[in-house]
Amino acid sequence: MWMPGRFIMGALALFLVCTLVRAWRTGWIYDNMWRFNADDNPFMYALEFAGRIFIIAMFVAGAAGYSPSEFLDMTGLGWIKPYLPHGRTY
């Protein structure tokens, strides 16, 4: 990936880390229309938290120069590559 793209991926990962630190401290995760509280709805809070951790890992791998195909192989999700649209393996 070209260098400005890697910088943008790193900046997005850093932004998401900051939002997760805020969510950890306050107990609230804000999405577009939804708010998940760790006390009222702990399952959705944990699911949103885990999803954002996966997205952060994806951004960090992209910033390190890995392709999406290599990221899928690293996370054990390489089996999904034949099911991607148009048969692309990226």
Strands (E), the chain: 28-30, 35-37
Between CA 18 and CA 68 the distance in angstroms is: 24
Q: What pLDDT digit, counting tens, does each position of 72-86 carry?
A: 888 888 888 777 776
Q: What pLDDT digit, counting tens, does each position of 13-63 carry?
A: 999 999 999 999 999 998 778 888 899 989 999 999 999 999 999 999 999
Domain boundaries defined on the chain: 3-87
Is the Cβ–Cβ distance between 60 and 7 less than 8 Å? no
Is the Cβ–Cβ distance between 69 and 90 less than 8 Å? yes
Which CB contacts under 8 angstroms, 24+ apart, belong to 19-26?
A: 19/52, 20/49, 20/52, 20/53, 20/56, 23/49
- Residue 41 token pair: 């709805």
Share of the chain above pLDDT 90, in %: 53
